[in-house]
Structure 1
């Protein structure tokens, strides 16, 4: 259901001091505020996670008036307080109306720190400025609206495929997950066993696109099935190696693992987010542990192994250390979990919220 917000706004008076220079000109902006016109249920928007592209709300406003004709840019902003101390920009336009999709409003709510699946108060305003210079800024009075956001998992995940890796050239054979840097969403790594052979990187199990191969010494993206298949990446030696990739510039590198410790005998997920869950080691590489799906409540987990407790502080991915704290589980869902007992790296994917 489209909740229609109509805000008639005239921007408040602003006088630029004129100087003696002929290049400066006095500009006056006249202001007058009109009533808010809204349809039913305007004050409550329940965001639909099953249809993220559907329209959620239309915001419209009267054109800002400047004393001389000039292009005007508008930004629709959300905030969780009326002072808009840390606003989130939801849309940019030169029109006087914009329709925001469910995902756009939900992303704004997430950026504001709203708790998923709870009603919370939000505020909307329109920022006007001259042209593209972001000058002569003025703001409308804020509009109140209640939002019911859903949880949005914002990350991309990637998987290994190829003769150099555990699944071989099957794109849906429990392909191991790359571990994402929790502080840089473009950086991924994988420390483990590689054969002296070739491999690629998949964006989704069971599909050959998107995928990354190599071209000219850098990673090459094949975004869709109708694009040419790039050459495979080569692991030039067999053994334990660390693959590091940076998708911001499509670079990758290998580093040999000089000392490989003895593999853990068992790894168990524990914590108040769910009961004890045993992970399984890959037959190809006993240092890589996983469970493809296990239910977790909102709360936290740790990893128990060899009589020690390993934890961390970052949700979804990070590096666990002995007595390193409780790993946050922000939302109830079924999770795929991976753990590397060489590095302590972990990764957790909420399966019903992932892309």
Structure 2
């Protein structure tokens, strides 16, 4: 009996020894990690959509020392200067120690960080290195970049003219809408009556920011100065761009941040008593959804329409087909240029503000 007990005791001790050995094999003494060193081939970049497929910048970094051999995974973290990487854009690159970003990739990161398009901004980048488990990752020192990103299109449905030169004067809730170019979404135009007086540009109806004012003028082209919020200093009015009261074409380019004003000859242009919208939503038959004009600007029409479901539509005069406008550009966009007898404009369901200029045949729908 004693021999049996002794045998069982030896087996138990042997098992404990195996367990102890197994634990000893799994245990790793982790030393505090030394951080990676990050370098970049560029420090200041102006990004353009023409160069979208070109290489923009190459980041490379050294491997940190965690005190033992381990597979390290790396991420690049991108943030706006001064935010301490709050809401950072994080890109994982596995075990690689180098990454080249194309212009389009770096621009997408800048857009995701909500950096202002076509203006210099400060971006910060760092490397995060981690081995997983319970061990904290290491971070490299911050590399600073100056980036001028571009946008695929501006974040404004349109721009608005406000000021003594306009019909609504300095009432920001009655500002005059411009029309977005059908061929370049960064170009906005307005053709209509203006007084020889001051004005500014607004990005949102009823709000004083974002806004644009006057910068330097050279060779008939005036540079825009941007104000992103009301906490910033106000921008200067455009003071001398309109030489005398009358019809003018105002052209704003948010790509190169310029504005021009040219006289427009409206002599002999027809004026209409009524313009409205007709389409699938009303069976292509009267009554049309009527738009309105003013005595100051009898060629610019505005109104609203609610579509219960997707519908094709056109603009027409006096609820008749003698004079009508569809779209001579992309029929699926909310802005474009009409054409006599052109294709139907295709609209999704919803409620829209509507603007139409019978001088230029430009139209604009702003979804509410």
Distance 1:189 1:324, change over 3 A: same
1:164 Cα shift?
0.5
Distance 1:128 1:340 in 2: 58
1:263 and 2:263 aligned: no
Structure with greater strand percent: 1
Question: Is the 8 Å Cα contact of residues 337 and 363 (structure 2) preserved in structure 1?
Answer: yes
Number of positions where the alignment pairs a residue of Structure 1 with one of Structure 2: 220
Give the match for residue 178 of structure 1.
178
1:218-297 superposed matches below 5 A: 218-234=223-239, 235-260=242-267, 261-274=269-282, 276-291=288-303, 293-296=304-307, 297=309
CA shift, 1:71, in A, is 7.6
Q: Residues of 2 paired with 1:170 and 1:257: CA distance? A: 25
Distance in 2, Cα, partners of 1:252 & 1:225: 22
Partner of residue 24, structure 1: none
- Structure-1 residue corresponding to 2:323: 308
Match of 2:351 in 1: 334
2:158 matched residue in structure 1: 157
Any conservation in 1 of the 2:72–2:95 contact (CA below 8 Å)?
no
Deviating runs (4+, > 3 A) in structure 1? 68-74, 91-96, 127-130, 153-156
* Compared CA separation, residues 299 and 238, structure 1 to 2 (3 A): same
What is the aligned-residue RMSD (CA, Å)? 2.9
1:54-83 deviation per Cα after TM superposition (whole angstroms, max 9, x unaligned)? xxxxxxxxxxxxxx9898569xxxxxxxxx
Does the alignment pair 1:131 with 2:138?
no
Question: How is 1:194-205 mapped onto 2 (pairs within 5 angstroms)?
Answer: 194-205=194-205
Change (3 A) 1:207 1:259: closer
How far is the alpha carbon of 1:311 from its aligned partner? 0.6
For 1:93, the equivalent position in structure 2 comes to 90
Matched, 1:166 2:167: yes
Mapped contact 1:187–1:246 kept (Cα < 8 A): yes
- 2:298, 2:95 → 1: CA distance? 59
Between Structure 1 and Structure 2, the one with more helix by share is 2
- Structure 1 CA distance, aligned partners of 2:209 and 2:101? 40
Provide the rounded CA distance (Å) in 2 between the counterparts of 1:214 and 1:273: 44
Paired with 1:308 and 1:216, the residues of 2 have a C-alpha distance of 43
Change (3 A) 1:92 1:224: closer
Deviation at 1:262, TM superposition (A): 2.5
Q: Which has the larger radius of gyration?
A: 2
Structure 2: 5+ residue stretches without partners = 1-69, 77-87, 103-153, 218-222
- Partner Cα distance (1:200, 1:324) in 2: 34
Report the CA distance between 1:294 and its aligned residue: 1.8
Deviations 1:286-329 (A, max 9, x none): 111000x3202312110002631211043211111100110111
Match of 2:337 among 311, 319, 339: 319
Check the 8 A contact 1:157/1:203 in 2, yes or no. yes
Is the Cα–Cα contact under 8 Å of residues 193 and 245 in structure 2 kept in the other structure? yes
CA distance in 2: counterparts of 1:134 and 1:289, whole angstroms: 47
Cα 1:70–1:258 shift into 2, 3 Å: farther
8 Å contact kept, 2:212–2:226: yes
Distance 1:73 1:273, change over 3 A: farther
Preserved contact between residue 73 and residue 132 of structure 1 (Cα < 8 Å): no
TM-score, with normalisation over the residues of structure 1? Answer: 0.56
Separation in structure 2 between the aligned mates of residue 298 and residue 128 of structure 1, nearest angstrom: 49
Displacement, 1:154?
6.2
Structure 1 counterpart of 2:56? none
Kept in 1, the 8 Å contact 2:293–2:299? The answer is: yes
> Superposed, which structure 2 residues align to 1:30-109 within 5 Å?
93-95=90-92
For the 8 Å contact 2:158–2:188, the answer to whether it is kept is no
The TM-score with structure 2 as length reference comes to: 0.54
CA contact (8 A) 1:71 1:131 kept: no
